[in-house]
Amino acid sequence: MLPCCGFFLCADEMGENVDIVGCDKGVDWTVLHEPGQVRIITGSGRETVVPIAEYAREVCRFADDVAAFYAACSPKTKPGDEFDARGWAAFKREWRRRRTEAKSLFEA
């Protein structure tokens, strides 16, 4: 879920989604979407169930914090090769699409 060094972005054929590849030292957990709720299962097996609107609101808050941090950092150098450029472009498209979809779950 949170890769340690997820800097290798592999765009799908359509350029709309990415697989983020890195080492196995990140933090991972399971998220199961169920009708009206989300079940979160930690690596140790602890489970909690959260209403979908509450989950979506918190995911968006975290995503917005990450986006603000990224925007406040020094300007980024554009990727030098086509593979990396496609990966980053797909990442940005997927981020915006998923953020918009999540927001619709808690805004009426």
Instruction: Please give the residue that has the higher pLDDT: either 33 or 25.
Output: 33
Mean pLDDT throughout 67-90? 92
Residue type, 17: N
Token code pair at residue 2: 């949170």
Residue 38 · residue 50 · CB < 8 Å: yes
Pairing type for strands 37-41 and 47-51 reads antiparallel
pTM: 0.82
> What are the structure tokens assigned to 50, written together?
């959260």
Domain ranges for the chain: 8-26+52-103
Asked if the model's pLDDT at residue 100 lies above 90, the reply is yes
Tell me: the pLDDT tens digits for 40-76?
Answer: 999 899 999 999 999 999 999 999 999 999 999 998 8
- Tokens 């808690």 locate to 106
Instruction: Decide if pLDDT at 108 tops 70.
Output: no
